[in-house]
Amino acid sequence: MACLVVLGPAAAPTAYGATAQSGGTPSDPCTSQGLKTAEVEAALRLDHDDRTYTKVVSELTITVPLAWPLADGLLLDPRSDRYRKAMRCLVRGPASRGLKGVETNWQEWRTGEPTVTPVRDVPAPDEGSARSVEVVVRAHGWVDQRDKLRIGPWTVHVGRAKWAVHLTPPDPIRSATWQRITVDPGSSGAVSAKPEAAVGRNGDRLAWYPDAAAPPVEVRIAPAWPRAYAAQDDNPPFAALDKAGFMSWWLVLVAALGCVLVMLPRLPRPGRADPRARDDLRGWALVLLCVVAVVQGRNLYLGAIGAFGDNDKWREQAAHAPWAWLTATVAGGILLFFGRPGKALAVTGVLLGAVSVVPAVRPGLFGLDPKTFVAAPGPADLTTAAVVAVTVCSTALLLLGGVAAVRRLAVGGGLYSPRRARPRPRALLTGTLILLVVLGVCYAAAAERDWNRASWLSPHIDPGGWLPGSASPFPDDPGYGAWHRAELRSNLLWFTHNVQNWWCALLWIPSGLAVLGLLRTGAEGTADATVALRGPAGPYRLLVLLLFPVMVALNIGEYTASGALSWVWFFAYLFALAGLLRLASGRTVGDKRLERSGEPLARTLRVSHRPVLLDRARTYRERHAQLRRLDHGQADDATVRRRDLETGLRRMHRWRSSRGGRDRLPHDVSVVDVALVLGPGDTWWGNGVRAARLTQPVALPLTAGLVWANQLHGEELTSTLHERLGLPDVLLQFLLWQVGYAAAGMVLGVLWHQLPGRRGPAKAFCVALAYALPAGLFALGNWILGEEQTGLAFAVAAMLLVLTLTGILMDLETFREEHRYWRGRIARLYSVYQMRFFSVQVAWLLAQAAAIATIWQFLAETGGSPPENSGVSRTP
């Protein structure tokens, strides 16, 4: 979620003047008369395709005569005020939009500094012949709000169904010679254009060649309804539907956990869950409901009133920020109470909460007025110190409560065995403080970087310094430094709000831990059961199905920048896995029937058979290897020897029914297949844990690739560097992808006996297919709506490859006792799979690697998928 930046375009004042060395007057600081001989070209392009928000790209080319008094400033360092003043005259003009002092444009983005090139005469191309300077300014932005969007010399008025593009050049270049003006309205086309456009040249959709002053160009566009809806995602009722959809996802999860709790008492006595894990799940369901109601309920309220729909009301929006102190304190207190802290941690939590609640409820007691706090010249130092204190305390309590809750669920579910039953206060507080400091430093660095981007044309000296003499038309302007500090205070005020939304979006992790803790207890006492009875059943099967959308599923579900249907994808993933398991029922190796009794193999197979099975499986593979050598004529007594080997192989099909009677394995099932049915673990939980561990080293390079593609490549890198929590989110996303792969491995291992296929890759394909089906359905919706989906193919292909390799490793782990007899894993794999299966698996892996390489090359060549939002200037 993008972080809120409250100094919008209309919030920024403008200081303007001219240095004494440059000439100019207070009434005309840009000496506009010197720009009448300048030549200007302007182009605008709207890109609607394969993205959620329409991208607006502007290119402004100005040939400035060197006779203009400020022209020499264009050749200076971009960090100098003379350069800023000259460039601002060309790009924005003095007193832009009637503002004064520092000017910012949060909606405009640039890929680099403007290009400044001296233009020399063709007949005499020596260095002294330059008579003008060519300035090329490239900028872009996204239509992500129903507001005015200023990009270069253009203004896009965004309405409900139609948009209007106006050419609004700054006054200094308005009277220059405009040679060429082009507008490419994109795939939506233009509804109307004023004045009448000339026939486009070079393939331009709309073009004007006035060769005079700038004409009043106006182009009206009727974008496709997905782009029009996405541009209103911060306006009611769209904002409310978005927040309600995300809130519904959590409520569906709470309801599903409630169903599991209802089903648990109906289990027979041997299958009863551990009371501690059951109580943890019940308690967490209530905690999750309360936290979601507090945090998401506030977001729903803000969306319903359209709190962030108008950038011009940035002062009024600041009034909503202090309430995050209260919601973070309440949510943190609930989480900390659930974590069962010791006395020291409980006292610490009470102190943090007391410091946070009072300023949130009565900010006036500390002289805090949010509307003036985020503006220059700013409040008293005591007020700022109080805001710092309450921000630190409320955020620290939220982080502390989350860590304590995770620890209780991990310990109570038997997933982690600490030395002490209760957490150590010093270690927990130190870790929380370190995390808070890291978040604060990254947050401040991103805020500073974004401020420099938006205020790049503002003077860094006092406004009066831009005017000749000591006269200043804005004697009351506080100056650059004051507004810079105001922006930092604004980010401080919204810090808890942004961290709260970022932190609480991770509540699926403790939810998954609660599910895993209870799931673990269901495998107790099943080690000696037959395969038919070893798999999770009843509420434990539902827990496995819940684990899939909670911890494995892709973060999808947003159409037209709205999460109104995000809860649907919870059911999509759950039903995809449930449906495939239903189709697989009766088609597993364990479901095949013995030849004589017709009894399913799973009813006769136990873990206690493992030593004998592994020994018979090795003998089976050795005799098959001898047969292959006989087929190649490598023995003299081939016929006799072959008959002996075939007789021995037929005897290996002997089996016992569940009643102890003599029987035979199914004709198409070998002892190797039977050994692989058991998997490497003694219980289905053991298989799940081993598969989860095996995914981690395999997934590391693919996780790095996904993080690079989603956050560090192309336009995504710009968004990451400017989002307030973008840098911490890079590391977090790396960890979360690994967690997701571990959870997928857990599902594969837990369902090992219930998945079709003789070998691990075949079983893995079923889980990967359940992962891919909702993603494919979502991609189909994206294709219909014309939105981006490049990253989906990479994520699905990566999951298939990780699960395939995990399945192979699971088969190798089943025969891990033989590792001393083989030179390496490849040799052992060749022995286990034998020639035919080995060749098929190698071909399958090569096909997956080729698919991932193709997707990777596509991402590298296209610059990555376009970001889902326009950057940090969007409100949460």
Reduce the secondary structure of 177-215 to three states and give it as a string. EEEEEEEECHHHCCCEEECCCECCCCCCCEEECCCECCC
DSSP lists the bridge partners of residue 139 as: 58
Instruction: Show the tokens assigned to 744.
Output: 């997928």
Residue where the block lists tokens 């520092």: 102
Written as six digits, the tokens of 615 are 């020994």
Considering only residues 525 and 697, tell me which one the structure prediction assigns the higher pLDDT.
697
Largest CA distance in the chain: 114
**Residue showing tokens 């099975």:** 613
What proportion of the chain, given as a percentage, has pLDDT over 90? 57
Residue 317 has pLDDT above 50, yes or no: yes
Closest CA to 624 of 667, 672, 680, 663: 672
The Cα–Cα gap between 641 and 630 comes to 8
- State the pLDDT at residue 478: 72
Distance CA 735, CA 822 (A): 35
Give the pLDDT band (50/70/90) at residue 330: very high
Check whether 593 has a pLDDT greater than 50.
yes
Range scoring the smallest mean pLDDT among 225-229, 369-373, 646-650: 646-650
> If you count DSSP H runs as helices and E runs as strands, how many of each does the chain have, helices first?
26, 13
Integer Cα distance of 552 and 737 in angstroms = 9
Per-residue pLDDT of 512-522, as tens digits, reads 999 999 999 88
pLDDT band at 873 (very low <50, low <70, confident <90, very high): very low
What would the mean pLDDT of 354-361 be, rounded to a whole number? Answer: 90
pLDDT of residue 156: 97
Residue 535 pLDDT class (50, 70, 90 cuts): confident
Q: What is the pLDDT of residues 58-93, one digit of tens each?
A: 999 999 999 999 999 999 999 888 899 899 999 988
Q: Which of 564, 547, 560, 583 is nearest to 771 (CA)?
A: 547
What is the three-state SS of 619-634?
A: HHHHHHHHHHHHHCCC
Q: What is the pLDDT of residues 469-489, one digit of tens each?
A: 434 444 456 778 888 999 999
Range name among 217-221, 659-663, 707-711, 796-800 with the lowest pLDDT average: 659-663
Per-residue pLDDT at 78: 92
> Nearest to residue 302, comparing CAs of 369, 349, 235, 364?
235
Report the share of the chain in percent with pLDDT over 70: 86
Q: Which two tokens stand for residue 169?
A: 């050049």
Predicted confidence band at 819 (pLDDT cuts at 50, 70, 90)? low
pLDDT of residue 771: 97
| Mean pLDDT of the 777-795 span | 90
| Phi, psi of 655, rounded to the nearest 5 degrees | -150, 170
Q: In what order do the strands lie in the sheet with 192-194?
A: 148-151, 154-158, 163-167, 218-221, 192-194
Write down the pTM of the prediction.
0.90
SS3 content of the chain, % helix, strand, coil (to 5): 60, 10, 30
List CB contacts of 63: < 8 A, sequence separation 6 or more: 38, 39, 40, 119, 132, 133, 134, 135
Q: What is the mean pLDDT of residues 509-535?
A: 84
pLDDT score of 470: 39
Amino acid letter, residue 689: V
pLDDT score recorded for residue 524: 77
Look at residue 779 in the predicted model and tell me its pLDDT.
93
Distance between CA atoms of 440 and 438, rounded to whole angstroms?
Answer: 5
Taking 80 as the threshold, does the pLDDT of residue 525 lie above it?
no
C-alpha to C-alpha distance for 866 and 860, rounded to whole angstroms: 13
- pLDDT the model gives residue 199: 67
For the segment 262-312, what is each residue's pLDDT rounded down to a tens digit?
988 765 544 556 788 899 999 999 999 999 999 999 999 999 999 998 888
Query: What is the pLDDT at residue 636?
Result: 55
Mean pLDDT of 52-56: 94
Could you please report the per-residue DSSP string of 385-442? HHHHHHHHHHHHHHHHHHHHHHHHHHHHTTS---SSSSPPHHHHHHHHHHHHHHHHHH
Structure tokens at 338: 């659930």
**Residue 698 has which token pair?**
């395999």
| Phi, psi angle pair for 344, to nearest 5° | -65, -45
The rounded distance, in Å, linking the Cα atoms of 351 and 302 is 29
If we measure between CA atoms, which residue out of 215, 174, 167 comes closest to residue 90?
174
* Chain position carrying tokens 């079923």: 766
The token pair at 602 is: 């799973």
- Residue 632 pLDDT greater than 70, yes or no: no
State residue 625's pLDDT score. 73
Question: Does residue 12 carry a pLDDT above 50?
Answer: no
| Burial grade of 126 (CB within 10 A; 0-12, 13-18, 19 or more) | exposed
- Name which of 58, 26, 65 is nearest 42 in CA terms: 58
**Distance between CA 723 and CA 124 in Å, rounded?**
49
Strand partners, 141: 56
The residue that leads in pLDDT, 278 or 856, is 278
| Encoded tokens for 867 | 């970001």
Phi, psi angle pair for 258, to nearest 5°? -65, -40
How would residue 20 be classed by pLDDT, with cut points 50, 70 and 90?
A: very low
* Window from 216-225, 559-568, 621-630 with minimum mean pLDDT: 621-630
pLDDT at 126 over 90: no
- pLDDT at position 345, please? 93
Establish how many alpha carbons lie within 13 A of residue 701's alpha carbon, considering only the half-sphere containing its beta carbon. Answer: 7
